[in-house]
Structure 1
């Protein structure tokens, strides 16, 4: 857990290859603020090689010639090998981004395996062709689903393993090849993924991994050999990718930022609601795109919720992410810590009242820590209520009546997640239908692998997960048949 992890190769075409340059990228622990490893930076020639390997895989019988059942068998072998390495990968992720280890084990370890197996099952049960009666001329049409091609997958640092698998699993299920670019903050764990691919005998070129920062991502997105882009990250970066893909007429799935609302109705159970908000609003130290960080409370009950949410946030254990009791770890980097602290100061300067937190923990001199912070007396127009903080910061906003609550929830450029809290589930579902968002939870928020996930407005384009996630890696071909 303390040894350096230094990598000197790239995973391209099913093999470890020497990079084209000697440039390396250091990895810094958010806990110790010291280097814990390094990896090479891919040059454009390395990316060219990775894309070429993917295109080659699409032409070879050992991948392109497989039936859905045979492809599912390959995916299950891959899942088995990832599972053998799940603890190593979870620990590596935590060392890189500060994710609390118990969360990392559940999500970065176990969930990646579950997701890959889900898509292995789905590819077996999804017919490649269907026959339709032609309209208006008599006859029939075969509608065929084919792999879209080579996918450029760009994953973020907050949930690097599982969000990579959001892209890899359906792409493989569709019969595509993948060139993955992890975030530079969390690249070391992708080498464990590559080791699993080798052990599972994944056909050469089906999965390739290139490394580097935004310049590498930009080159990958614009590469003429990439047929589709799948990206999770900031809205700013997503807009750049969307412009490039639009110009090239290249499909893209963009899962971007969020500033979701938790609507607490007047009949909600205070204790159960506030307990649930610890997960729905502060999971992974608030570094989760769909977090409900705008807490909308009935004005007549606002002080009750201010007190209860403040007490909840102040009670969360902050510290070493490798300690299983830790709930709030460090944020990923010094840059991210400074950004979060700057937004807290901006919120304070605009009149927001901080009821707990507001700075760095007094007892932690080292590490990129930010105290769990709660703002009361916040207007929905304030910066702290409108900008995605991506840290352990909540804003409590009072509303007058249900229509006002829904209007406040919808008054955002984002629309990724959200929750409603009530003792009347039917009432909660009615509220969910009125909120402009891609996903929503009633009395909790849990992603369902079998249902689509994604955003509206500035939160993105397209959907991942579920059959819809598989469909986004397929293209449709219609074959018209004259009647006999």
Structure 2
């Protein structure tokens, strides 16, 4: 068992906040290329601790000796190395021209007038290693193509940017989240940061402090450790100008309005305890909408693995883990897909439910109707659970309670394909809690046959990230994408949160990101599926080479070269 970090005493917090306030002045005036130099030093630091980082998380989550070790490499040091490289490229472009590099050829305007920027792929290595993956950022309605560039990197356009100190309340599930949130506050918003580690993964704190020593040594980053009392003290501190929260809506409301009946009364009255800007990413009940089509047996198997990955990556402890599978009632493939999903669930190894409360959440959601529970349960384990839910049952907690565990529900909706798609979108928008991420699975032939209906569905889905034949987790990993809830939430009705992170192009008026991936893996993709070269993705829970490809991806990201790219590609082909 990895030991937790010692709790930071309040006097030490006060001293660190004093240091941050002084450093905020320097950061606000630090030349862009000096920031680039610090980021390059941090890249060296992350690379230096990559093995210690991944090994600590593998040990803490009980993944030692399994093929799932790769999760901690990819969603830990690799994700941060990837982000650092994208932020470095953006800042270098700002230093040259005053703005992130986005050629006019990468901006298009939809038929409804909405402006869209293509943000991935960028360059030959992207096209080689993630061939078939694409990402767009859709702007808020009213942002014209001509105006779009001026909405990027607004902090760098200020003549006299004001010094800011941000409190980042770190997540306890995915290791990359705390450093990624810090990097965004530093680089996009211009705020130096106090990172309060989550007790669930504060064993990573010392590793992060070493990795980001260049920022720590210059006074731009400080760390705090402890439970709610430390978080409460930091939130109330006068030295903190703004707060970013990753967690649950209940945690958000306790911070913003307080707890108990007094907190509920403040929320009803719209009178928050804190008069500070607060951004947040708070999760949701994520839907995966399956469009009917003519699928082969191999299609059913691969998409079952895709859906199970959406559910069980990190054992379901993801804010965008798929929770409600939406299926066509009139499609002969529905029972075949459910059977294939159950088969994948049966074959997976048991893994510890390391995040607190998983068993009680899963049990609550499983009590409605008849559930199929697979694998070990009790003594720190939670069964992989799937059950049918009635889409008309407004009381079913599967639609309103984020599972944050290994529970998956599925509903069926009647209608011919285009009517079904409209109803599925309405169900996701109106019946499921939150607006963070939604997935769509559609065969290329079905997409061509119902192109306008699918386009309308993507436009109508009120989610901050929409993944087509991918998982929205890919949108999390691609720093070029925006990551956050669909715009429009307020402190009193926070939903999946306010604001975005990642967003390496620093769009200030983004509405959503749309991610695309091939429906079938290479080499099967060559036969009527669009000819993409992406094999089984390394983030799949069924990938056989995850434990090897994770370190190889880190090596490539730190030292991009044809040789390192080839090594990654060869490992990927064996997945």
Task: Give the TM-score range, shorter chain.
Answer: 0.7 to 0.9
Q: For residue 103 of structure 2, what is the aligned residue in structure 1?
A: none
Q: For residue 470 of structure 2, what is the aligned residue in structure 1?
A: 444
Tell me if 1:119 matches 2:139.
Answer: no
**Which among 251, 255, 278 is matched to residue 237 of structure 1?**
251
Cα distance, 1:414 vs structure 2: 1.0
**Which among 66, 72, 92 is matched to residue 104 of structure 1?**
72
> 5 Å matches for 1:312-323?
312-318=344-350
Cα distance, 1:104 vs structure 2: 0.2
1:184 is paired with a residue whose SS is coil
The superposition leaves residues 315-358 of structure 1 with CA deviations (integer Å, 9 ceiling, x where unpaired) of 2222xxxxxxxxxx21224x4233234324xx33x32x22342x
> 5 Å matches for 1:163-312?
163-174=177-188, 175-198=190-213, 200=214, 202-243=216-257, 247-267=273-293, 269=295, 270-301=300-331, 302-312=334-344
Q: For residue 44 of structure 2, what is the aligned residue in structure 1?
A: 80
Contact 1:97-1:158 within 8 A present in 2 as well: no
Cα distance, 1:434 vs structure 2: 1.7
**Which among 372, 376, 382 is matched to residue 355 of structure 1?**
372
Q: For residue 353 of structure 2, what is the aligned residue in structure 1?
A: 331
CA RMSD in angstroms comes to: 2.7
Whole-angstrom distance in 1 between the partners of 2:455 and 2:313: 23
2:161 is paired with a residue whose SS is strand
2:176 is paired with a residue whose SS is helix
Contact 2:234-2:240 within 8 A present in 1 as well: yes
Whole-angstrom distance in 2 between the partners of 1:293 and 1:178: 33
Whole-angstrom distance in 1 between the partners of 2:435 and 2:56: 32
Cα distance, 1:164 vs structure 2: 0.9
Unaligned ranges ≥5, structure 2: 100-146, 148-156, 259-270, 415-419, 490-494, 510-575
Tell me if 1:422 matches 2:446.
Answer: no
Tell me if 1:52 matches 2:84.
Answer: no
- Report how many aligned residue pairs link the two structures: 404
1:268 to 1:235, Cα distance in 2 relative to 1, 3 A: farther
Q: For residue 459 of structure 2, what is the aligned residue in structure 1?
A: 433
The superposition leaves residues 349-371 of structure 1 with CA deviations (integer Å, 9 ceiling, x where unpaired) of x32x22342xx616xx75x2112
> 5 Å matches for 1:456-467?
456=486, 458-467=495-504
Whole-angstrom distance in 1 between the partners of 2:22 and 2:389: 59
2:40 is paired with a residue whose SS is helix
The superposition leaves residues 249-277 of structure 1 with CA deviations (integer Å, 9 ceiling, x where unpaired) of 32121000210100001126333322211
Cα distance, 1:50 vs structure 2: 1.8
Whole-angstrom distance in 2 between the partners of 1:150 and 1:331: 35
Contact 2:479-2:504 within 8 A present in 1 as well: no
Whole-angstrom distance in 1 between the partners of 2:386 and 2:215: 49
The superposition leaves residues 203-241 of structure 1 with CA deviations (integer Å, 9 ceiling, x where unpaired) of 432111000112211221221111121111011112233
Name the TM-score, length of structure 2 as normaliser. Answer: 0.65
Whole-angstrom distance in 2 between the partners of 1:373 and 1:437: 25
Whole-angstrom distance in 2 between the partners of 1:393 and 1:202: 40
**Which among 52, 55, 76 is matched to residue 91 of structure 1?**
55
